[in-house]
Copies of this chain bind each other. A is one copy, B any other.
Amino acid sequence: MRDHSMKKSKAETAETRQTILDAAARAFRANGIQATSLADLMAEAGLSHGGFYRHFNSKDQLVAQACASSLASLTDALEAQAHQHGFKAIVEGYLSAAHRDSRADGCPLASLGSELARADAGTRAAAAQGFARMADVMARHIGRRSKARAQSEAAFALAAMIGAVTMARIIDDPQISSALLDDVRQHLDAI
């Protein structure tokens, strides 16, 4: 098999795979992992469900990769945001009503947290790594004397942010929900 033979075909296959992955990452965050069927997800990607197994071995494998993919994107976005507007901007963006109200492209740790805790080892590993990397980005921009203290404060802040957004999505009353987000933001601004 020479080098650029099949090139177009391979590129198209990779593109389809990415389309499925993107649709999965959105659908899982929007509706939950268990509540999203492969048929739903493939339809959203514009394909019939039978072709799924040309690209992934199982739903579990897709879940792990979709989780890793959405966390990597989010981490990049946080990095850019922090680089331009600092640590506070990350906290404010995460604790915004906009993030609370758009699960599909928000943080999977908040939209899928308790489902991820019961997922298989691969998915849990991807989620744990995502948490660590997000905390790292935050720590690098927190502007604090010791590195250890920055990391400790970043992990604390991130856990609080995840809990706050999860709870804010449970609380129906928009005033109470937003008050919780504001509350947590104020406390995190003070650390």
User: How many copies of the shown chain assemble into the complex?
Assistant: 2
Chain B residues, Cβ within 8 Å of A128: 170-173, 176
Interface secondary structure of A, over-half rule: helix
Chain B residues with Cβ below 8 Å from A155 are 180, 183-184
Chain A, interface size category, equals: 35 or more
Determine whether A150 belongs to the interface, using a CB cutoff of 8 Å to chain B: no
**Which residues of chain B come closer than 8 Å to A175, judged between CB atoms?**
none
Stretch from A10-18, A37-45, A54-62, A119-127 at the B interface: A119-127
A32 to B115, CA, bound (A): 8
Identify which of residues 147-191 in chain A touch chain B, using a CB-to-CB cut-off of 8 Å.
152-153, 155-156, 158-164, 166-167, 169-173, 176, 180, 183-184, 186-187, 191
